[in-house]
Amino acid sequence: MEVSLMEDNEATTQPMLQSILERINSLEQHLDIRLDRIESEVKLVHPQTLTLRADLNELRNQLKLTA
């Protein structure tokens, strides 16, 4: 009887675990896509930030000369 109960539990648990693993894998794929998009945006914004910083430094220097 004890063996039968263990088999029943395993028969119930295995599909549930498989379902959970599939959800985790799906979530991982979704997160990978999101992270790739974020990384792409950062790569676009970073050079613009450096340019903006240089422009602000130049403006600051020009304002010091006129003051």
Distances (CA, A) of 30 to 2, 47, 57: 42, 27, 40
Quick one: pLDDT at residue 16? 92
Please list the pLDDT of the chain residue by residue as tens digits (67 residues).
565 766 777 778 889 999 999 999 999 999 999 999 999 999 999 999 999 999 999 999 999 988 6
Distances (CA, A) of 51 to 2, 36, 59: 72, 24, 12
